[in-house]
Structure formats: structure tokens, C-alpha cells
Amino acid sequence: MKFHTPSVMAKGFRCASMNCGIKEEGKDLSLFLSDVTANAAGVFTRNLFPGAPVVLGREIIRHGQLRAVVVNSRVSNVGTGEEGIENARRMARSVSQAFDIPEQEVIMSSTGVIGRQLPIEKIEAGISTIGSGLTSDPLVGAEGIMTTDTYPKAISLEVDGATLTIIGKGSGMIEPNMATMLVYILTDAEIPVAALDRMLREAVKDSFNMLSVDSDTSTSDTCLALANGLAGPVDHTRFAEALKTACVEMTRLLARDGEGATKLLTATVTGAVNDTEARFIAKALINSPLIKTMAYGADPNIGRILMAVGKCTHCTVAPEKLSITINGTLVYTDQARVDFDEARVRSLLSGEHVAIGVSLSSGDASATAYGCDLTEKYIEENAAYYSS
Amino acid sequence: MKFHTPSVMAKGFRCASMNCGIKEEGKDLSLFLSDVTANAAGVFTRNLFPGAPVVLGREIIRHGQLRAVVVNSRVSNVGTGEEGIENARRMARSVSQAFDIPEQEVIMSSTGVIGRQLPIEKIEAGISTIGSGLTSDPLVGAEGIMTTDTYPKAISLEVDGATLTIIGKGSGMIEPNMATMLVYILTDAEIPVAALDRMLREAVKDSFNMLSVDSDTSTSDTCLALANGLAGPVDHTRFAEALKTACVEMTRLLARDGEGATKLLTATVTGAVNDTEARFIAKALINSPLIKTMAYGADPNIGRILMAVGKCTHCTVAPEKLSITINGTLVYTDQARVDFDEARVRSLLSGEHVAIGVSLSSGDASATAYGCDLTEKYIEENAAYYSS
């Protein structure tokens, strides 16, 4: 398994992006296209108010076959009723006509403001011309799906002679539940639909499902995997491992680029009695505003870590067995603060990555959650993000 | 039932506060004293790492009898092991000696930084002289228990010829679980311990337990009720009602003075299938960073409200039955945004109190949660609140 720098596109996939007039400036429409029909799997938000693309997407993915993914940003097509469903269908139909693909092999996503109808004519006009810009640079496709992200995100790696490319976006309203904001996984490996689906769910569980920027679950979260088979068969164990590694890497990129973030925050819980509790405590740590601001302020405030573990009142936590590390330095054990080198820990906390480790010594389960610090900029962005 | 302005002290109670040298400036020690032994009840944090005063407090309150409450601020006596327990005992012992009260009728609280030992000699010296400042102004006692609060909080009301006085503090690390930060309820009504305990728990359930400034549960939350009986017996139904009203009022004060807050945020959920779900959804709304920043930005962003209800994936929510109001104005119903007067709603949102109403029309249960907006100032305070 080997990461590419810069990232490259899996064989037989191309993408394009453009401004079709939804945003005043910047790209707002992206297309991902496979030259041949790809096996496909997907996971979507579990929010009870899913957007129209998610409602339709769940039906479309059932066939397990895709040629194209079309995505617009700025308007999410959520809370838009029957008209929203019809508009999502029109996005697929336009791609079908423009690229001569069966309509049921086109899936769509929308991200942005909730409760507004899509400017569907602009999108249709855009789709009719977007083909001229098709390229094999995945970052081009990543550009059209951005909302508050500060840069486009794509990673790729080589596994067993096949290429795995992941394009993702997501910056706020992020605590995915079954998926993340928008993530498209494209590979030329040959993988049957059932295996692809299983591998995707397994990878998502430890990556995007452990990501939280602000504990708010989007109505549009979508993660799709397309495998067009052009590179032939691969070893499933190695591919699944590569997929999980790449998903974790993309999760770290999304977390680090959380709205207003200045650093990546991770929490690793070990020794939990079971997987559920390990995940719950890791998420509680990553979501605590007091830990997020502590990371921002670069202060080794052990009390806040104790507090966040302690508020998981239904979990099995034996206070006398708890140890805490910050970026690898032991700061709490045997029910007392360790006399650590504060200046050194403060300096570690000032870096790009704050890593909190909590050892419970009560069982064998472990989990890592991914988030970011909480800064004035998150407030500014979200207090100013007007809905109309 | 009638609120006093300004608040007064229940008969037979006095209080005092002073700087005993824990803080560089400002008061850091308070004493509340009843002339006669009072019946007492209490609820404490459920955090798995409670402070020494909470550990001891649970034992002390079992006797159901109190004469005095002694409180220091700046250092919370949490994560301090055996030495912390002994220091908490020494606080009670000092009060016992200085005021000739049985030691088991003195309860103590500490609030502030976690993981540091109390400067117990300073506190003992303070207790030996604090008696000279005893007064019947409850705000004086409220001053010594403040941490990041911007002003001291006390309210009082008249019920059935008795007086009910509540002193409270709490600004950050607030999502109480069974109690709130520090709240002392003093009354001269004559109420048996069992009834007092029942009324306290009932009142806390709908008030302090529905408060969340930042979703973080403190290790020190304590709510005590002392009834010294000097005003004679009262009607229990009316007193319980007055107690709940006063607790809700104190909850609103604490929420409004949340760290960095510029306004009170309430969420009322009606028509839920049961009490648990009504409370869960109301808390999800009040805790959502995107709703908190929306309140700060005075933007009627309906999508964020949909999102927050929708992320309660285990609750019974029928999207077609959902209606949403903002400060009484209907903004969403029949699965669509209502064409409301945006300028008017923005102006309502700019006020001192943002009230979100969510009607689920699925059952008879309802709940209200209390919080505040999220501003740059919360970040500043908590990124700068150094642990040492």
C-alpha cells in the first residue's frame, strides 16, 4: 500500500467541476464519471430529515451499479418536499442525457443551505457543458463540492496494482452517523458489490463515523464507493486494509479542516469493556467544548479530561485504574496528576495535532475519535452563515 | 407566590463572604448559616469523578440535618485523593469549631480548577473570622461562590407565609446530571426531610437538569435545600410549586449568564411520545453548536433546527407532523418552510431571549431546556482558563 503525492485518479475515472451560477463565485458543480459501469456501495446519514438526494440515493445504490456521481454545492436540497425529489431526479436525468448513461446509474448529492429549492435550470445548463472539462485530476472534482472547506481534498494510494482515490468535503455540521459529509471513493479494482459494501461499512465505522467537528449530524452525509474493475481483481484483505487506511487519512484531513480549526484533535481510548463504550468515551472527549478550547489554548488541563470521561455515567470506568496521556506524555495515573514537564506538554499542545490518550484498564476494547479545536472562527463562520 | 425585588433571606438564615487568599482578588469563601438546625436534602453530580466535597456531601446529607454550608471558589478539590477528602473535612471542622455546631451538620462545596489541593490553612484562617460579616443579604453569600459568573445570583419569593431563597452560581462546564453547579435553597418553611427531598428532586428535574451551557458535566455539581421551620408549616403542594418556579427562574439566570453568552436560549418540545424523548430532543436543540451560533447571529436558520431534531435518531419523529416556531412565530410546518416575515423574526432573534418551539404531534409529553448562545467570548474564556 503506497500513498501518491499528488493524488491520482483510479483508471477509467474522470471528473470535472465548474461554476454553474448557484454560487456568486467559486465552483458549485462537480461530476465524477466512470468509463465503464462500476460496482457500487454507499452509506448515508441517519438524520431523520434526510435530503432529497439521500432519499433517492438509497434507492439508486440498491442496484449496486453506477457510472456517474453529480454533486452541487451551496444548496443542499433538504426540507424541499416533492419538488426537491423531482429536482434531484432532474439532475440525474441531465447527466444521463448528456453522457448517454442509463439514468439509474447516476447518483446525485447536494450540500449547502437547507430549506431552499435548487436552481435546477442552472444546474441542468451546467451539466450540458461540464463534459468539456473532464480531467483525471481528482482535485478538480473536489473543488466543486466545497462549502466552508478551506481547500479541496483528495487522496490516493496503490494497492495490489489497483488505485484507490478518495475525494471528500466536510467542515461543519459534522458528526456523521453511518457516513460523513460527502466522500467519493473511486477505484479501478475489481470487487463484487457485496464485498465492496462490506468493506465500505467496515472502513466507515472506524473512520468517518468516528469524526466529529461539532457534534451536529448533517442531513446530507453520503459516502459512496465505485469500483470499475479496470485494474482487475485484488486481494480483498489487503484492499480492505488499504481502504480503511485511506478513509482514516481522509477523516484526519476533514477533522483538521473543521470550521475554524487550527489543529487536529484525536482521542484514543484503550482498555474499555466493549467497543460501544470505547467509541462513546472517545466521542465524548472529542466533542467536549472544554477539551476543544483546551486544545486551542494549548493548556494541559487534566481536569477537563477527567470531567469528560466522568460524564459518560453509563460506562464502566474505574477511577483508580485510569491513566491519561497528552501527546504520549503521562499526565494522570493512580488517581493523581503526574508531576510532568508542563512547558514540554504545552509545547506539544501547541502543535498541529493534539492527541489525548485515555487508558481505562478495564477490558480489551479500544477506539479513536477524530475532531478539531474550537476557535472564535467557528463562531464567526456560523453566526454569520445566513440562511437566506 | 410572590417574588421579592431585591431578594431577601429566609428567616433565621444569615450568610457571609470574604477573600481568604485563594484568589488574588475577589471573594473566594462563603458561609450560609441557619440559627437552628434545618431539615436538609441534596442532589449531586453524577460525574464518575466527583470532587471530595461531593463524596463527603453524599454521606452528610443522609442525616437530613444541616446548620451550615461552607463554600470556597477558585479550587474545586476534585482529583485530589485522600488529601482532598481530609481537606474537605477540615473545612467542616473549622466551621463546627468557629460556630459551635455539630460537625456532621456542616456541609461543604468547592468550585474552580480541578486537580489542585486546597490551600486549607488559608481557608481555615478565613473561617475563623468570617462570622463578623454575617448578614441577611443573600447576594453577599452569592459573591463568594462565583467563578466565571459575571454577577452574583440570588432570588427569593414568598409562599404561604414562608420565604424561599435561592443562591446559585454556574457559568461553564454545565450540563448538570442530577444537579447543577452550586445552588443553595434556604427556606424558613417547616418541611419534613422526606418531603423536602422529594420536592427538591421534582423541582431539579425540570429546572437545573434541563440546563446546559456547554454539554459538559461538572465534577462538583451540588444543589442543597435547607428548611429551618422558623415560619411554620406550609401547604406542600403550593410550596412544591413555588420551589419549582423559583428553580426554573434560577436556571434561566444561570443559562443567561453562561460563559460568553449574550442571550438566553430555550427549546420547548411538545407532543413527544414520552418524557424521555421530549427531554432528549430539547437538550439536543439547546446543545447544538449550530443552533447556539444561529441564536448569536440572530438568523432564522430553519435547517439547523430540522437537523438537530433529526439527529435524535432513536426518537419517534414523524417529519410530516413537525412544526417549528421561533419566539412564537411559525416558521416550518407541513414539511416546508413557512413564508414568514424574516425581518421580524430576525429582530425577535436579536433580543435577550431566543425561544425555539418544536411541536412533534406524536404524543402528550413536553419539556423545556435552558441554554445560551455560543460566542467568541466562550472560546476566549476557556482557551485562556489555564489549569495552573
> Given this model, what pLDDT does residue B176 score?
65
Inspect the interface and report whether the beta carbons of A379 and B380 lie closer than 8 Å: no
In B196-251, DSSP assigns E strands to 222-233
Number of neighbours of residue A386 by Cβ within 10 angstroms:
13
Burial A159-178 (b: 16+ CB within 10 A, else e): bbebbbbbbbbbbbbbbbbb
Question: How many Cα atoms sit within 13 Å of A297 on the Cβ side?
Answer: 21
ipTM: 0.81
B254-268 core/surface letters (b: 16 or more CB in 10 A; e: else): bbbbbbbbbbbbbbb
B180 annotated ligand binder: yes
Superfamily the domain B2-256 falls into: L-amino peptidase D-ALA esterase/amidase (3.60.70.12)
Chain A residue at shortest CA distance from B300: A387
User: Residue B216 is nearest to which of A288, A336, A379, comparing CB atoms?
Assistant: A288
Q: Which residue of B has its CA nearest to A315?
A: B48
Candidates A379, A386, A388: best to mutate against B (most CBs of B within 10 A) is A379
> Would you call B140 helix, strand, or coil by DSSP?
helix
CA dist B152 → B140, B177, B374 (Å): 8, 23, 21
Count of H-run helices and E-run strands, chain B: 11, 15
Cell numbers of A348, please?
A: 506539544
Catalytic option among B45, B111, B180, B325? B180
Do A92 and A70 meet the contact criterion of CB atoms below 8 Å apart?
A: yes
**B218/A307 CB distance under 8 A:** yes
Q: Considering A163, A180, A217, A270, which one is annotated as catalytic?
A: A180
CB B224 within 8 A of CB B61: yes
Residues 184-223 of B with CB under 8 A from A: 214-219
pLDDT tens for each residue of chain A, 388 residues long: 788 989 999 999 999 999 999 999 999 999 999 999 999 999 888 888 889 999 999 999 999 999 999 999 989 998 888 999 999 999 999 999 999 999 999 999 998 888 889 999 999 999 999 999 999 999 999 999 988 788 899 999 999 889 999 998 887 776 665 445 788 899 999 999 999 999 999 999 999 888 887 777 777 778 889 999 999 999 999 999 999 999 999 899 988 888 889 999 999 999 999 999 999 999 999 999 989 999 999 988 888 999 899 989 889 999 899 999 999 999 999 888 888 898 999 999 999 999 999 999 999 999 999 999 999 998 888 887 665 5
SS3 annotation, chain A: CEECCCCCCCCCEEEEEECCCCCCCCCCEEEEEEEEEEEEEEEECCCCCCCHHHHHHHHHHCCCEEEEEEEEEEECCCCCHHHHHHHHHHHHHHHHHHHCCCHHHEEEEEEEECCCCCCHHHHHHHHHHHHHHCECCHHHHHHCCCCCCCCCEEEEEEECCEEEEEEEECCCCECCCCCCCEEEEEEEEECCHHHHHHHHHHHHHHCHHHECCCCCECCCCEEEEEEEEEEEECCHHHHHHHHHHHHHHHHHHHHHCCCCCCCEEEEEEEEECCHHHHHHHHHHHHHCHHHHHHHHHCCCCHHHHHHHHHCCCCCCCCHHHCEEEECCEEEEECCEECCCCHHHHHHHHCCCEEEEEEECCCCCEEEEEEEECCCHHHHHHHHHCCCC
- What is the separation of C-alpha B132 from the centre of its chain, rounded to a whole number of angstroms? 29
Pick from A105-114, A239-248, B15-24, B171-180: least confident: B171-180
**Counting beta carbons within 10 angstroms of the beta carbon of residue B189, is it exposed (0 to 12), middle (13 to 18) or buried (19 or more)?**
buried
Cross-chain residue pair A47–B310, CB shorter than 8 Å? yes
Residue B179 scores a pLDDT above 50:
no
Would you state the cell numbers that stand for residue B312, as one nine-digit string? 435524535
Q: What does DSSP assign to residue B78?
A: -
Residues of A in contact with B283 (CB under 8 A): none
Q: How far apart are CA A249 and CA A245, in angstroms?
A: 6
B147 is in an annotated binding site: yes
Fold of B264-384: Ubiquitin-like (UB roll) (3.10.20)
| Long-range contact pairs involving B129-134 (C-beta distance under 8 Å, separation at least 24) | B129/B18, B130/B16, B130/B17, B130/B18, B130/B20, B130/B29, B130/B31, B130/B98, B131/B16, B131/B31, B131/B98, B131/B99, B132/B16, B133/B16, B133/B17, B133/B18, B134/B14, B134/B15, B134/B16, B134/B31, B134/B33
> Which pLDDT value is given to residue A179?
45
What whole-number distance in Å separates Cα of residue A204 and Cα of residue A43? 9
Residue B169 marked as a ligand binder: yes
Q: Name the residue among B217, B293, B307 with its Cβ closest to that of A307.
A: B217
- B111-163 pLDDT, tens digit each: 888 888 999 999 999 999 999 999 999 999 999 998 878 889 999 999 988 99
Stronger pLDDT, A382 or B185, i.e. the higher one: B185
A/B interface, count of CB pairs below 8 Å: 213
Active site residue A245: no
Distance CA B103, CA B100 (A): 9
Which chain A residue is nearest to residue B387, measuring alpha carbons? A301
CA–CA distances in Å: residue B376 to residues A198, A374, B296: 43, 10, 10
Nearest to A102 by CA among A154, A73, A60, A45: A60
Contact of A144 with A133, CB cutoff 8 Å? no
Which residues 14-33 of A have a C-beta within 8 angstroms of B?
none
User: Which DSSP category does B159 fall into?
Assistant: E
Distance from C-alpha of B213 to C-alpha of B370, rounded to nearest angstrom:
8
Instruction: Give the CA dihedral B308, B309, B311, B317, nearest 10 degrees.
Output: -170
pLDDT at A103: 96
On whether any CB of chain A is under 8 Å from the CB of B387, the answer is: yes
Q: Quote the cell numbers at residue A289.
A: 467544548
Alpha-carbon distance of B358 to A225, in angstroms, equals 37
B368 marked among binding-site residues: no
d(CA B258, CA B47): 20
Query: Residue ranges per domain, chain B?
Result: 2-256, 264-384
Q: How many angstroms separate the CA of residue A375 from the nearest CA in chain B?
A: 6
Phi first, then psi: give them for residue B40, nearest 5 degrees: -145, 150
Beta bridge partners of A72: A29, A110
**Distances from the Cα of A303 to the Cαs of A284, A299, B47, B82, B219, in angstroms?**
14, 11, 12, 17, 9
Dist CA A7 CA A164 (whole Å)? 10
Q: For A299, which residue in chain B has the nearest alpha carbon?
A: B386
B259 is in an annotated binding site: yes
| The dihedral formed by the CA atoms of A269, A271, A276 and A280, expressed in degrees to the nearest 10 | -30
Residue pLDDT, tens place only, B27-39 = 999 999 999 999 9
What average pLDDT does range B357-380 have in this prediction? 94
Q: What is the mean pLDDT of residues B67-82?
A: 91
DSSP letter for B320, please. G
Tell me, what's the pLDDT at B380? Answer: 87
| Cβ <8 Å between B114 and A302 | yes
Residues of chain B by 3-state class (helix, strand, coil), percent to 5: 35, 30, 35
